[in-house]
Amino acid sequence: MAQDMTLLWGSGSPPCWRIMIMLEEKELKGYNQKLLSFEKKEHKSKEVLDINPRGQFPAFKYKDYILNESYAACLFLENQFKSQGTKLTPDCPKELALMYQRMFEGFSLLEKTGYVLYYDLIVPENERHESARTRNKEALTTEVKLWEGYLASSSGFLTGKAFSLADVTVFPNIAYLFRNGLCEKRYPNLAKYYNGLKDRPSIKVGWPPHWKESESQATLKDI
């Protein structure tokens, strides 16, 4: 099974990290993987384009099935290997509904984080405005406070009392916040969640290599 899987990935990419966590949780070890470089523009290489024509990481396939969208890959793997490894979907309908809700809310968290971190890369120099930067920071602050509230009564996971698809998909987004300087004292619930899961074996396997070799950034210290 695992030998029929190929993952081309880039360090620090939350979508790549999600798939790696998922593969570990489902005990799909020994899959074919290759770490490539954003800086060298290897995501635009023929090797990647043959799997992901958008030239983006991740590039993931199982047999002849292409699953480059990380949420699609996670949902597929949970369905395909439901009885293997960690059970990542709760049986309780209420918990299941909340799990899906938190999963897809994760898009907003990562999107708003990106607007702050990559504003200068996304927006041409002559179109940049301080007022836009301020709005982006305010929007991210509101979003982070929302997640801080979600975790106020957490048992260590985003939904229910067990690690689920919500944690697989959203943890990398939260780790990305702290990597870029989010204040743990200002957001104690998020910090507790982050610190409680960061040493989970499946999460450590995909921990971005360059994070281990360089210091955290302070870009989000004022959020």
- Write out the chain's pLDDT in tens, 223 residues: 788 999 999 999 999 999 999 999 999 989 999 999 988 998 999 999 999 999 999 999 999 999 999 999 999 999 999 999 999 999 999 999 999 999 999 999 999 999 999 998 889 989 999 999 999 999 999 999 999 999 998 889 999 899 999 999 999 999 999 999 999 999 999 999 999 999 999 999 999 999 988 778 889 999 9
Domain range summary for the chain, segments of one domain joined by +: 2-80, 93-213
Mutual angle of helices 188-197 and 130-150, in 10-degree steps: 70
**pTM for the structure as a whole:** 0.94
What's residue 202's pLDDT? 97
Sheet holding 59-62, edge to edge: 32-36, 5-10, 59-62, 65-66
CATH 3.40.30.10, applies to 2-80: yes
CA distance 33 to 4: 11
What's residue 38's pLDDT? 87
What's residue 158's pLDDT? 95
What's residue 106's pLDDT? 97
Is 222 buried (19+), middle (13-18) or exposed (0-12) by CB count in 10 A? exposed
When the candidates are 3.40.30.160, 1.20.1050.10, 2.40.110.10, 2.30.60.10, the CATH number that belongs to 93-213 is 1.20.1050.10
What single-letter amino acid sits at 100? Y
CA distance 104 to 59: 21
Same topology between domain 2-80 and domain 93-213: no
